Amino acid sequence: MKQIIVPETLKVGECYSNDQIKYALEVSNLGGIRPRLKNNKLDFIVLITSAEENKNIIRNPYADKIEGDILTYTGAGLKGDQEVSGVNKRIIEQAEKPIPILGFLKEGVNQYKFIGFLFLLRHYKDYQIDNQGKLRTVWLFEFQIFSDIPPLKIVNFIDPFSSLYNKFKKELLPEDTVIDSLLPKQTEEEFKIPKLDEEMLKSIENL
């Protein structure tokens, strides 16, 4: 039996086997979205795409693609309509807190190239063919790829990712940007349209 060399670091551009990813990162060996929990909380996510691979649409119907440093990734679920639940919902947690997402690109049989950290830009509905050949609703996740990073020690991803996360958040959302959800809540009274008296109505009619 071939001995598995468990890596201690991840380097962008280097390939790893499925077993190396499983044992080094302590995640499942199946699926494209592999959350790692620590003390019952989400620690990080391993995300595997086959965007560049020539795929059999029935065996692997996901229409992932990489354009420049943007990855468009199809959510989990081979058959039927997808939902934002389970592992798909885990991805969205990054919008609220700096959850590292580690991107791997399948390059061949049991060869997964580390492409860097992934930063979620948005997610939206689309339509694709499932593995039964039927049209279905899917969720697409659009990521910014951070590939210009030093080798990462596997013992800690949160520190190097947090600095990138906070910096990128500021670039995407300048300090002077106003978000409706952050404004003080207004009561119904404040939204009432003032009643117009007869004099005001006449003045408007004469305009």
* Per-residue confidence (pLDDT) for residue 204, from 0 to 100: 36
Percent above pLDDT 70 for the chain = 76
How do residues 145-193 score in pLDDT, each as one tens digit? 999 999 999 988 999 999 899 888 877 655 544 433 334 444 444 434 3
Percent above pLDDT 90 for the chain = 60
* Per-residue confidence (pLDDT) for residue 196, from 0 to 100: 41
* Per-residue confidence (pLDDT) for residue 131, from 0 to 100: 84
pLDDT grade for 16, boundaries at 50, 70 and 90: very high
Averaged confidence pLDDT in the chain: 82
pTM reported for the whole predicted model = 0.78
Rounded average pLDDT over 72-101: 93
* Per-residue confidence (pLDDT) for residue 20, from 0 to 100: 97
Burial 77-99 (b: 16+ CB within 10 A, else e): beeeebeeeebbebbeebeeebb
* Per-residue confidence (pLDDT) for residue 60, from 0 to 100: 54
How do residues 101-135 score in pLDDT, each as one tens digit? 999 999 989 999 999 999 999 999 999 888 888 99
* Per-residue confidence (pLDDT) for residue 175, from 0 to 100: 52
Q: Which CATH architecture has domain 9-180?
A: Roll (2.30)
Of residues 34 and 168, more confidence is placed in: 34
